[in-house]
Amino acid sequence: MKPYKLAIVGATGVVGRCVLHILEEKNLPNLEYVLFASHRSAGQTLSFMGKEYVVQELNENSFDEGFDFAIFSAGGDTAKKFAPIASAKGCIVVDNSSAFRMEKEVPLIVPEVNSEEIANHKGIISNPNCSTIQAVVALKPLDEKYHLKRIIYSTYQAVSGAGSKGLSDLEEGITSFVTKKEYSLQKFPYPIFNNCLPHIDVFLENGYTKEEEKMINETRKILKRPDLKITATAVRVPVFNSHSEAITVEFEKDFHLEELVEVLKHSPGIIVQDDFQHAIYPLASTSTGYDEVFCGRIRRDESVASGVNLWVVADNIRKGAASNAVQIVEKLIALDQDRTR
Ligand code: A2P
């Protein structure tokens, strides 16, 4: 069998490093890797799969050497510039940025939810926004069974989702609280330490943030429910890793709570942690390091005829980005092997 060649673009970033970690864990057979980042870290070495890899600067010629796949985790501008170059040279790009997510011909994939759409790609596949991924893993089986009518998202998002500068703002804030030394913010408009910032990504004319708009539009696209009523409030909280979400949904059909919990328990990628009498529910700290989406606090919304409240927590860097992208590459490899068998 021929080896597949995989480019990791943004290998030095928070998501890129997690991609490397997951690839080491999975140790997929027959893969060769090349690691790319910007000129800032070109020449740096990273230990990966028991070897030292020299990080290469990404440029227009990087994809000349014939790659099968690339996982991009280097932001929207880099993706817009280099993903079309890569795909024109026959490399299938799985992009973690929002650059192509809403383009009609670009599949927006969460493997547990809509892996059948991977085969429709035209060279670029988008990984959804981290907050959307964990939400749709939980909502898809409920939509199939009870038909979603309306969703209200309230997110509590970790700083790792804002990359290394976001992590640094929280670390520096904690240090400054202890040492009383001044520090400069690198990412957020206000200190994230000891604060909740209802401001993720830029503000739009209607007063929503782009993060909130992404959750709304991406959920509709992934669930193939273009008219689904959705509203969202996205909040950055002083948590290092794993996003938590309070999700309130209304259904067209009625449901029995015990049955709904069973549906979640038997759906792919979900772990139910729900025992309020013993204070068991998902936590950011205990979800970190896992690829599953954790659901708890499952209770009827008593203010509507048929609705439920959920508390949904997942590792935003793993399932929300890196492992979702690696899962897509695994599916692409399986498709290629089926085709050439
Ligand atoms: P670099 O480390 O050289 O800046 P994070 O979101 O955690 O800050 O990581 C962003 C990742 O995207 C880093 O690996 C960063 O590389 C990479 N990156 C940023 N700009 C570019 C670019 N123009 N070309 C390639 N990689 C880039």
Tokens representing 5 are: 């060649």
Distance, in Å, from the CA atom of 79 to the CA atom of 81, rounded to the nearest integer, reads 5
- Is 91 among the residues known to form the active site? no
* Substitution site in 8, 78, 97, 168 for ligand 1 pocket (most atoms within 8 Å of beta carbon): 78
Mean pLDDT value of segment 273-297: 98
Which tens digits make up the pLDDT trace of 91-123? Answer: 999 999 999 999 999 999 999 999 999 999 999
| CA-closest residue to ligand 1 atom 21 | 38
Which listed CATH number (1.10.40.60, 3.60.21.10, 3.40.390.10, 3.30.360.10) goes with 132-315?
3.30.360.10
The predicted structure's pLDDT at residue 274? 98
**φ, ψ (nearest 5 deg) of residue 67:** -100, 145
> Active-site residue among 147, 243, 266, 278?
243
Answer yes or no: is pLDDT of 2 > 80: no
Contact 81, 75 (CB under 8 A): no
The predicted structure's pLDDT at residue 111? 98
Instruction: Please give the C-alpha separations between residue 95 and each of 16, 36, 247, in angstroms, as whole numbers.
Output: 11, 14, 26
**φ, ψ (nearest 5 deg) of residue 80:** -60, -35
Percentage of the chain with pLDDT > 70? 100
Mean pLDDT estimate for the chain: 97
Answer yes or no: is pLDDT of 65 > 90: no
**What is the per-residue DSSP string for 102-134?**
T-TTS-B--HHHHGGGGGG-SSEEEPPPHHHHH
Which tens digits make up the pLDDT trace of 123-157? Answer: 999 999 999 999 999 999 999 999 999 999 999 99
Residues contacting 71, CB < 8 A, separation 6+: 6, 7, 8, 9, 19, 94, 96, 325, 326, 329
The predicted structure's pLDDT at residue 341? 78
The predicted structure's pLDDT at residue 201? 97
Distance, in Å, from the CA atom of 131 to the CA atom of 316, rounded to the nearest integer, reads 7
Distance 158 CA to ligand 1 centre (A): 20
Answer yes or no: is pLDDT of 1 > 80: no
CATH 3.30.360.10 in the chain is located at 132-315
* Substitution site in 21, 36, 38 for ligand 1 pocket (most atoms within 8 Å of beta carbon): 38
Residue with tokens 């759409």: 117
- Report residues whose beta carbon is within 6 angstroms of any ligand 1 atom: 9-14, 16, 36-38, 40-41, 58, 74-75, 78, 163-164
The predicted structure's pLDDT at residue 301? 98
- Is 21 among the residues known to form the active site? no
Contact 18, 317 (CB under 8 A): yes
Contact 132, 219 (CB under 8 A): yes
Distance 327 CA to ligand 1 centre (A): 22
> Active-site residue among 130, 147, 199, 295?
130
Which tens digits make up the pLDDT trace of 174-227? Answer: 999 999 999 999 999 999 999 999 999 999 999 999 999 999 999 999 999 999
Distance, in Å, from the CA atom of 237 to the CA atom of 243, rounded to the nearest integer, reads 9
Which tens digits make up the pLDDT trace of 234-257? Answer: 999 999 999 999 999 999 999 999
Distance, in Å, from the CA atom of 157 to the CA atom of 271, rounded to the nearest integer, reads 20
Mean pLDDT value of segment 312-316: 98
Answer yes or no: is pLDDT of 38 > 90: yes
Which listed CATH number (2.60.120.10, 3.40.50.1980, 3.40.50.1820, 3.40.50.720) goes with 4-127+321-340?
3.40.50.720
Residues contacting 15, CB < 8 A, separation 6+: 73, 96, 163, 317, 321, 322
Beta strands at 4-9 and 69-72: parallel, antiparallel or unpaired: parallel
Residues contacting 38, CB < 8 A, separation 6+: 57, 58, 74, 78
Percentage of the chain with pLDDT > 90? 98
Mean pLDDT value of segment 264-271: 98
Question: What's the full length of the chain, in residues?
Answer: 341
